[in-house]
Structure 1
């Protein structure tokens, strides 16, 4: 279409463009411009008050050699793995049980979905009490079984277990609802044929349900990867009272410090907004790489 015709078409339908303009204006003001400014800021040194000082690629070079960032990356990947795989397996089991229920299915959906819509801060405070060393419910159960209590929020691996448990509890119901939608697309005749052939429930689950649910499982894996690599509120609130140096350090020895937690520490605890922006773009690159890997995995399995 010639440029004049395009201009006339826009003028002719200006009411329609005006109707959809609020979304794009809000996205421009609160999405695109901040993203562009963060990229610009990552090439400068700025404390938030004074003038900016151009740094070029110096902050990105420092990021590649920053041992604390690599520690945060390692913590994030370990917590993500410990939370995601058990969470997806439990979500699939919950979805299968809800799908096979004959009564109160709506209640079960609501009950399992409630943790996902509950405030993360409130949930983290509750889990902080549950995993408390002296008065926690988990240690009370361990002592009731004759086992020694564990300092859940004081040692590196127990910190990761606590954060992973919190994230799993929060997202099991959300993924269970997605799995439930996928289960309801599987023909019931397949399960009836399996029962006629003498297949046990375990065999039916692993030979019918899991293979037919593979696209949904891979979708939830991709989404869980993106959200898990950006975990912030869970370790920040859960470990806020056990940090050695600051509110955002991530617990003793930074054992629970995630990438986003490290970004927040650099930007708002150290007031180093330029390096914080560089850390944010490093996080973005990590999330993109993992998303591409998962997308390749999905494409390969579908073929």
Structure 2
């Protein structure tokens, strides 16, 4: 009787193992790039290309449906000497400062309050987001009525103090205040929720140790909460800077007629409104408007760097 030994198991050849290794390497290295590629493709089409095309137009004497002649830096030279453009820059920066500084402060206070143990915290946190889901047109209509000269609520309140009614749209400072309150009402809750989410990540042990050492709630906020929120505050300031310097919807709706002039004397015309007026409401000068758009881009970069330098020093940063 002969014993038949089973044949040795066949091992997979190295050639068959290579595809699986390659697939594994692709899953680890290539798949993340494949997953994020749709965003960058869309950004290239709708972000990079318009940016470069706008730069190309800014170097030409171009009209909306007319000539396209190379002009070099002539549009920029004309723009720098344009008093209306600098008036729009002054209005934009003024309304940005008037709206953003109180907005960040109120967002910090509101987020710190919502971080406490309150009854109905969920409803309160959802309530601060209601302005975000409200139509901008509806907000502008309501605030225009509130700031109405003859029947507005604010002039009615000022009347009890013996102050004459204010024509909010006619003066620069009053129009800035009205538009700034519209911006603050819409975006304070949004920034507060972002700051609240960052506050939730701060370890509770730090507050407990500070309380044991006798630190008051105010000192805990300045010594623990604010320094730990520094990266989030930088982010909030960044997005507020971009939104504030590209302010468009609120002043346009506050104007009512949508002529992009920002009042009879341009008292609250922003740079974004100036660009639209130059491109579509005035002489249809696309090249001139493109140059203004690039100067606005430079203004945003400059404002962002200033705010970054300032916010980096919150809480003793160096």
Q: TM-score, normalised by structure 2?
A: 0.81
SS in 2 for 1:254: coil
d(CA) in 2 for partners of 1:265, 1:119: 24
d(CA) in 2 for partners of 1:252, 1:209: 46
> 2:66: which partner in 1?
50
How far is the alpha carbon of 1:197 from its aligned partner? 5.3
Name the stretch that deviates more: 205-214 or 231-240: 205-214
**In the superposition, relative to structure 1, how do residues 100 and 18 fare at CA in structure 2: closer, same or farther (>3 Å)?**
closer
Pick the aligned partner of 2:246 from 209, 222, 230: 230
Q: Which runs of 5+ in 1 are unaligned?
A: 1-8
Q: Which runs of 5+ in 2 are unaligned?
A: 1-24
**In the superposition, relative to structure 1, how do residues 97 and 15 fare at CA in structure 2: closer, same or farther (>3 Å)?**
closer
Q: Does 1:187 align with 2:203?
A: yes
> 2:229: which partner in 1?
213
d(CA) in 2 for partners of 1:202, 1:22: 46
Pick the aligned partner of 1:178 from 194, 203, 208: 194
Pick the aligned partner of 2:295 from 274, 279, 282: 282
> 1:272: which partner in 2?
285
| Contact 2:230/2:312 (<8 A) preserved | no
Where in structure 2 are the equivalents of 1:101-250 lying within 5 Å?
101-196=117-212, 199-241=215-257, 247-250=259-262
| Contact 2:275/2:293 (<8 A) preserved | yes
**In the superposition, relative to structure 1, how do residues 189 and 147 fare at CA in structure 2: closer, same or farther (>3 Å)?**
farther
CA-to-aligned-CA distance 1:279-302 (integer Å, 9 cap, x gap): 001101111122233334455664
Bigger Rg, structure 1 or 2: 2
Q: TM-score, normalised by structure 1?
A: 0.85
> 2:17: which partner in 1?
none
> 2:86: which partner in 1?
70
SS in 2 for 1:138: helix
> 2:50: which partner in 1?
34
SS in 1 for 2:115: helix
How far is the alpha carbon of 1:200 from its aligned partner? 4.5
SS in 2 for 1:252: coil
Pick the aligned partner of 2:264 from 215, 232, 252: 252
d(CA) in 1 for partners of 2:31, 2:204: 50
How far is the alpha carbon of 1:253 from its aligned partner? 1.8
Pick the aligned partner of 2:102 from 78, 81, 86: 86
How far is the alpha carbon of 1:224 from its aligned partner? 0.9
**In the superposition, relative to structure 1, how do residues 208 and 131 fare at CA in structure 2: closer, same or farther (>3 Å)?**
same
**In the superposition, relative to structure 1, how do residues 147 and 208 fare at CA in structure 2: closer, same or farther (>3 Å)?**
farther
| Contact 2:199/2:225 (<8 A) preserved | yes
Name the stretch that deviates more: 67-76 or 98-107: 98-107
More helix by share: 1
d(CA) in 1 for partners of 2:179, 2:302: 24
**In the superposition, relative to structure 1, how do residues 45 and 299 fare at CA in structure 2: closer, same or farther (>3 Å)?**
same
**In the superposition, relative to structure 1, how do residues 256 and 214 fare at CA in structure 2: closer, same or farther (>3 Å)?**
same
**In the superposition, relative to structure 1, how do residues 18 and 171 fare at CA in structure 2: closer, same or farther (>3 Å)?**
closer
> 1:6: which partner in 2?
none
**In the superposition, relative to structure 1, how do residues 197 and 300 fare at CA in structure 2: closer, same or farther (>3 Å)?**
closer
SS in 2 for 1:53: strand
d(CA) in 1 for partners of 2:124, 2:236: 20
Name the stretch that deviates more: 122-131 or 169-178: 122-131
How far is the alpha carbon of 1:115 from its aligned partner? 1.0
Give the aligned length.
289
